[in-house]
């Protein structure tokens, strides 16, 4: 039986991203450091953060205190919306705060160039194509190994890839993916362009969060039936579904038992018909919305 915890996906730049990572969004102060350290001590080799999360310093502390060699850890972070005109500075801030020598994957967090002086405004003379021009230059620094995007829809990718200034195809598009937001058109489009997809909110959201939505995904009969028959948690079933779709997954947790459980994906699998039964779930909801940004970035046309 495949050892899924050691599974990697090869990116279009030849580098290998670990299939299972730890998400750190919406973790409280001090929780992040401990959860990152615990995850690395228990086998995780992929940590995801972002400038926007405000926890890069703690993430770096957790990495350094884990005892795991830096070269064995994949670290992803992201450029925040108000930094699109200052890519080099935004990258340097993340590099400084993480304090881990280099960054494995640096992403444009959203295709939205927010005015740093007014969060209700989009910069009139700047968009993500210009941001990507600056992102490409970062590779020459040797301090970032791969670059990519996050929350890009098909229309965004088409605009970027068709621009003459786009010399490097994004290695990754990190997007919300779970059985109630499967986005098959977007996933297929990325695969056709050689862009790997990492699934965030892969467990369907955070219940009770004041910022994002959540749905009854883990109560779906198809998921509960499989969980019971295999002796696994509903969360493990959903995570395996994500792996079987060819996406890396970054479930977030700060609870040691759940961090361990989410990594318990070795020695079992889902058959094609079981994957199909989960994909047939009809409920639809989106965890991350775009109402807090000055422009729309989600259009609901990726299903």
What is the tens place of the pLDDT at every residue in 57-75?
999 999 999 999 999 999 9
pTM given for the model = 0.96
Q: Are 249 and 21 within 8 A, CB to CB?
A: yes
Q: Are 29 and 56 within 8 A, CB to CB?
A: no
pLDDT at 205: 76
- Which residues does residue 74 pair with via DSSP β-bridges, in sequence order? 46
Q: Please indicate whether residue 254 or residue 28 has the higher confidence score (pLDDT).
A: 254
pLDDT at 56: 96
210: CATH? 3.20.20.100
pLDDT at 216: 79
What rounded mean pLDDT belongs to the chain? 95
pLDDT at 27: 74
In a domain, 56, yes or no: yes
Q: Please indicate whether residue 28 or residue 239 has the higher confidence score (pLDDT).
A: 239
In a domain, 4, yes or no: no
Tell me how far apart the alpha carbons of residues 76 and 258 are, in angstroms, rounded to a whole number.
21
In a domain, 268, yes or no: no
Residue with tokens 């021009």: 133
Confidence of residue 29 (pLDDT cuts 50, 70, 90): confident
Domain residues for 36? 9-215+242-256
Tell me what the mean pLDDT of segment 215-228 comes to: 92
Poorest-pLDDT segment among 11-25, 74-88, 129-143, 280-294: 280-294
Cβ atoms within 10 A of the Cβ of 185, count?
13
Tell me how far apart the alpha carbons of residues 76 and 17 are, in angstroms, rounded to a whole number.
10
Tell me how far apart the alpha carbons of residues 260 and 48 are, in angstroms, rounded to a whole number.
17
Find all residues with CB under 8 Å of 114, minimum gap 6, and list them: 81, 82, 84, 121, 122, 123, 293, 294
Total domains, the chain:
1
In a domain, 222, yes or no: no
Q: Are 255 and 246 within 8 A, CB to CB?
A: no
Tell me what the mean pLDDT of segment 226-230 comes to: 97
In a domain, 233, yes or no: no
Spell 212-250 as b/e; 16+ CB within 10 A means b: eebbebbebebbeebbeeeebbbbbbbbbbbbbbebbbb
Residues carrying an active site annotation:
53
pLDDT at 214: 59
pLDDT at 213: 58
- CA contacts within 13 A on the Cβ side of 261: 16
Q: Is a pLDDT exceeding 90 seen at residue 262?
A: yes
pLDDT digits (tens, 9 = 90+) for 121-149: 999 999 999 999 999 999 999 999 999 99
pLDDT at 28: 77
In a domain, 83, yes or no: yes
pLDDT digits (tens, 9 = 90+) for 165-213: 999 999 999 999 999 999 999 999 999 999 999 999 999 976 555 455 5
Distances (CA, A) of 267 to 1, 9, 270: 5, 19, 11
Confidence of residue 215 (pLDDT cuts 50, 70, 90): low
Q: Are 158 and 192 within 8 A, CB to CB?
A: no
């Amino acid at each position: 039986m495949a050892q899924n915890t050691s599974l990697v996906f090869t990116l279009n730049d030849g580098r290998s991203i670990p299939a299972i990572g730890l998400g750190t969004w919406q973790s409280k102060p001090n929780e992040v450091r401990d959860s990152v350290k615990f995850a690395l001590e228990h086998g995780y080799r992929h940590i995801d953060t972002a400038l926007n999360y405000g926890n890069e310093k703690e993430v770096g502390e957790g990495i350094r205190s884990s005892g795991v060699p830096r070269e064995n850890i994949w670290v992803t972070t992201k450029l925040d919306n108000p930094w699109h005109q200052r890519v080099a500075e935004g990258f340097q801030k993340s590099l400084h705060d993480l304090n881990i020598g280099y960054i494995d994957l640096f992403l444009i967090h959203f295709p939205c160039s927010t005015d740093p002086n007014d969060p209700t405004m989009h910069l009139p003379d700047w968009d993500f194509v210009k941001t990507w021009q600056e992102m490409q230059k970062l590779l020459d620094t040797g301090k970032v190994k791969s670059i990519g995007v996050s929350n890009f829809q098909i229309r965004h990718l088409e605009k970027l890839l068709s621009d003459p200034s786009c010399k490097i195809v994004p290695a990754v598009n990190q997007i919300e993916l779970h059985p109630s937001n499967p986005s098959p058109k977007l996933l297929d489009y990325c695969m056709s362009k050689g862009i790997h997809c990492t699934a965030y909110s892969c467990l369907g959201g955070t219940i009770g969060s004041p910022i994002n939505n959540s749905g009854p995904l883990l109560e779906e009969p198809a998921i509960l039936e499989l969980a019971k028959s295999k002796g696994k948690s509903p969360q493990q079933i959903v995570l395996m579904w994500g792996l079987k779709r060819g996406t890396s997954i970054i479930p977030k947790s700060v609870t040691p038992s759940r961090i361990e459980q989410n990594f318990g994906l070795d020695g079992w699998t889902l058959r094609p018909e079981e994957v199909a039964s989960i994909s047939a779930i009809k409920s639809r909801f989106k965890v991350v919305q775009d109402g807090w940004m000055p422009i729309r970035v989600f259009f609901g046309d990726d299903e």
